[in-house]
Structures are given as structure tokens and as C-alpha cells.
Structure 1
């Protein structure tokens, strides 16, 4: 299913170019995780003082189209992602807008996101790739809630393609400004452990997708 009203063809192409750039040899990127099936890098954004991330994973026995379907299925995500507190999609001014509240460990406040997303299948130098984009969206119809920090600076892109067999390769770019005061230990944990664990959760979700109820 193509879902790309919020993004132009150029947006998808630029996301692919960013994800195609090898982080390990690109200026400013540093290695956080270097494992057989998962690589995570980060780079400091000097304007915001925050890090942006690239992650690369490989999923055996998980076709690319299936992986993209699982990622786009919000109802299913509520079953496999333990960090989801609330997640739904709502039509606002003719646009499909996602509301997502994320569980944070006590005593920190939960964060929530309001964003739009798009999906497109592209031919990239003869390769078929599934590209998913997301970015923050502002609307008065989903106001901020007491006791929850609204994330107003959020951007994510995924590129999913076949590994040449029955699996797929996943490339992800991620940036957000979670606001508030977050301990450095949590930021380090999320970068070094949260992203690899999230990729593992997606893989398990793909394996069980046909069993969902």
C-alpha cells in the first residue's frame, strides 16, 4: 500500500541517499554498536546539541514487504512493542495523523508524538526498496496532556530491501528532541541497547505476523 501524501518523491529519494551513505566512513559519525546483524552509529547535530542515529540490521526469513507491513500496522505494534502506552491514527483535516505515547521509566514523564507518515516502493538503481518516512505534525485537535512531554522535533526514515534470499536488510535514520532533562545513562542505554532490541522485536513481530489476532 502506498501512503505518501505528506511527502514528495524528492523526500523519499533524499532519505534513500542519506541511508545509502556509509556511516562508518562519513565525517562526524561514530560507532556505537558493531555486531554481526546490527550496526548503530550516531552523529552530533551542532545546531540542536542532540544526536541523530543510523542503524542497519539484517533479518533472516523475513521478506522486505512483510517487514514494511509489520512496521506500518499500528494495531499490531500495540501487541509487540512494550513501550507503547497509547497509539492510534486519526483523520484530521483530511490527513491521517498518528498519536503515540511512549512509556518512560519512573520517575520521568512519558513522551508523546503527533506525526504523519508515508510509505512508497521505489526502484533504486535496479533494486526494489520499501521506504517509510515520518515527521512531527502540529495540530490543535491533539493538544498536549498534563504529565506528558510532547516531542515536537521528530524525524525518522526506514529503507527496507531484500537481502537476495528470503530475508531483508533494514536501514534506519532517526532524530528527535525528547525535551526535558533525560539522564545521560538512559540516552546511552537507548542508543546502545534500545535500537538493537527494537530491531529484534520487529523481527519477532514479523515471524508472528500471520498468527496475529
Structure 2
């Protein structure tokens, strides 16, 4: 899993993800409330931080949580930061390349990404992983700041037939210069709110899915991908002409941000 390298995820890659999720040595616990915990860890890339969030859903099966995290049609129903997602094409039934854009807290600029996604369902453990790649048809635009994802992962572990543990791990560079208070806000406000929204979305998903293409789950049924476009890897070569001007947002004050800290929002 290397930035700008398109490569099928292998068992060893998933083992590395599991270790990162389960091994807390060297991580700093910055938030803990009920079943929710958030850790941070300095990354090798300068001032960047890795962070991971973990929760337990006592009334949601691992299968449902996995479906919720995969289903792009449902994502916009519960993730208010998702602006757009486009499936560019598949590498094989468990690896694809997509484009997506995310909103931020105004006046902070929105970001976008081109990412290889890789997933694996072993029954009791399920993985959805991603890292940044390039694609000729989706260069950076002036409407978004193009970020870099070194690794992002959801690790869903079954805790019985109707309970699961979910770990979200991310190591990314949003580019630009962001205010120093933003990391504290992400780890102590945004991440816990996201876990709460994911739980609510998981509770509501079965009813919603029954009314919206209930049999469409290509992450479970590879035959549904037979007509999906195939990725031509010659279109995914690293680009040296993607340089962007550095956007300095470091002077934005927390009081300028139009985002409620209410976890129910």
C-alpha cells in the first residue's frame, strides 16, 4: 500500500492493517467516552498525525455495519460531508478505483481524492481499505484541494450475531496549511459524532435497503460487477504536473467555523 501505486491488496496488507488497528503501543489516547475511543500518533511525514477511532455497537451485526460502510447510495443519507463519489472502474472483484469529494467546515475549503479501495470479508473480520492513486480522467480542479491518503481503513470485527467492534484508521495529508486547533476538534468532536451517526445509520439501514435495490450489493456479490468498467493501469501513472498552490487556512479561528459541536447534529 503505497501512494500512487496501483496494486492488488494481499493478505499481508490486511494483516498490517489489523495490527495498526489493534496495537495501541505508541498511540496517544485523546478521547474516551463509553464505548468510543480516539487515538493519535505522529506520522513519518513531517507534522502529520495518524488517528484511529474505535467503537462497539451492541445492537448492530458486523454484516450490517459492513454494508453501511460500503453502500454508496446510502452514504449521502448519513454522511453530510460527502459531496460526490464516482466509481472509476475495477481492478478485480475486491479492488477498485474511485473519486470522491468531501465538504469541510466553512470557511475551510473542501477536499477531493482519487483512491484505490480494497476490501475483504473473512466472516468474523471485515476490511475496507484505501490509499491515494492518480487517474488521468480525474486531475485536480480549482474547486477542491486535492488531498493525499497514505492509508485509510475500516476494520469491522464481529462480537456475536448482533454486535460488532468498528475501528476507523486514517493517515492522510489534507494539503494546504490548516489551523492547529483543527486536529483537536477532529479527534474530540468530529470523530465521536461520526461514530454516533454511523450507529444510527446502521440501525436504519435494513429498512432503507429493503426499499432501495435490496439485492444490489456488489461488495458481496462479484457477479454484479461483470459490466463494471475495467481500470487501464496506464491511466494511473503518477503525475508530476499535479502541483497545487499551497492554500493557507492556518489563520482561520475556531469561532469562524460554521459547525455545531452538538453530537445530535
2:158 is aligned, of 156, 162, 169, to 162
1:151 shift after superposition: 0.7
For residues 66-105 of structure 1, the aligned pairs below 5 Å read 66-91=64-89, 96-105=96-105
TM-score normalised per structure 1:
0.87
CA contact (8 A) 1:75 1:88 kept: no
- Whether the 8 Å contact between 1:6 and 1:116 is mirrored in structure 2 is no
Would you say 1:37 and 2:39 are equivalent positions? no
Shift of 1:93: 7.6
TM-score between the two structures when normalised by the length of structure 2: 0.71
Using the TM superposition, give the Cα deviation of residue 165 of structure 1 relative to its aligned residue in structure 2, in angstroms: 5.2
In the alignment, which residue of structure 1 is the partner of 2:186? Answer: 190
CA distance in structure 1 between the partners assigned to 2:19 and 2:70 by the alignment: 22
The Cα of 1:172 is off from its aligned counterpart by 2.2
Aligned pairs for 1:35-184 within 5 A? 35-91=33-89, 96-122=96-122, 128-164=124-160, 166-184=162-180
CA distance in 1 between counterparts of 2:207 and 2:161 reads: 23
Contact 2:60 2:164 in 1 (8 A): yes
Shift of 1:187: 2.2
Q: Which residue of 2 aligns with 1:18?
A: 20
**Contact 1:133-1:157 at 8 Å conserved across structures:** yes
State which drifts further: 133-142 or 44-53.
44-53
Paired with 1:152 and 1:92, the residues of 2 have a C-alpha distance of 20
The alpha carbon displacement at 1:163 in A equals 1.9
Quick check: which one's strand share is greater? 1
Shift of 1:34: 1.1
Kept after mapping to 1: 8 A contact 2:8/2:91: no
Partner of 1:203: 199
Residue 41 of structure 1 and its aligned partner are, at CA, apart by 0.6
TM-aligned CA deviation for residue 185 of structure 1: 2.1
CA distance in 1 between partners of 2:85 and 2:164 (Å): 26
Give the aligned partner of residue 219 of structure 2: none
Distance 1:13 1:157 in 2: 12
| Count of matched residue pairs | 201
Task: Call closer, same or farther: CA 1:155–1:166 in 2, change over 3 Å.
Answer: same
Instruction: Report the Cα distance in structure 1 between the residues aligned to 2:13 and 2:184, rounded to whole angstroms.
Output: 30
Shift of 1:69: 0.9
1:6 matched to 2:33? The reply is no
Q: Using the TM superposition, give the Cα deviation of residue 111 of structure 1 relative to its aligned residue in structure 2, in angstroms.
A: 0.3
Give the secondary-structure state (helix, strand or coil) at the position aligned to 2:76: helix
- 2:122 aligned counterpart, secondary structure: strand
Indicate the SS of the match to 2:80: coil
